[in-house]
Amino acid sequence: MIETVKEGQAYVFADVRVGYFNKTYLQCAQSSTISPCIEESKISEAILLEAEKRRPKETESEELVGRILTADISNLYVCVNCNGRIPAEDDSDPEMVKCTSCGQMMLVSFLSATLSANFLLGDVQGEKKGRYCSPSAPLKALFAEHLPRNTTLNRMSQN
């Protein structure tokens, strides 16, 4: 094993696997090894071209001015067992929910929630501009000034 990791140095990880529980992490076993790369590897031109093709494109954004004509808002809980999505019921406030993927019953207070919305936007004359999807972070920022501090997404969906 190595004692310190140096910036700019490449390392070889052997006998490790990627795990997922609330975030991505590397899981090692007793047989796992981490060693510095000693010789420089030559990367072929074909691999570099393929990597360039798969590089994410720069995002473009534009400022939209208009009215929200329709909004379809969905609140989903995330299962702690399988990371499956559990739809939150609009008409009830359950203490427990059942995951539709793995069948486990869970306390809602321990689940993280995601809030998303699909909007149909129109200009000031009511002409449709298009349909847009918004994930949790922008929605939370949009409604932050109307909510008490430290409001969770679970509480946001109830307000």
Nearest to 22 by CA among 110, 136, 137, 87: 110
When pLDDT is cut at 50, 70 and 90, the band that residue 141 belongs to is confident
Question: Model pTM?
Answer: 0.42
Partnered with residue 67 across adjacent β-strands are 122
Higher pLDDT, 40 or 18: 18
Q: Where are the domains of the chain?
A: 1-37, 67-158
The span from the first CA to the last CA of the chain, in angstroms, equals 52
For residues 101 and 125, is the Cβ–Cβ distance under 8 A? no
The SS3 call for residue 76 is: strand
Q: Is the pLDDT of residue 147 over 60?
A: no
Q: What is the pLDDT of residue 155?
A: 45
Share of the chain above pLDDT 70, in %: 83
Q: What is the pLDDT of residue 58?
A: 80
Task: Count Cα atoms within 13 angstroms, Cβ side, for 20.
Answer: 6
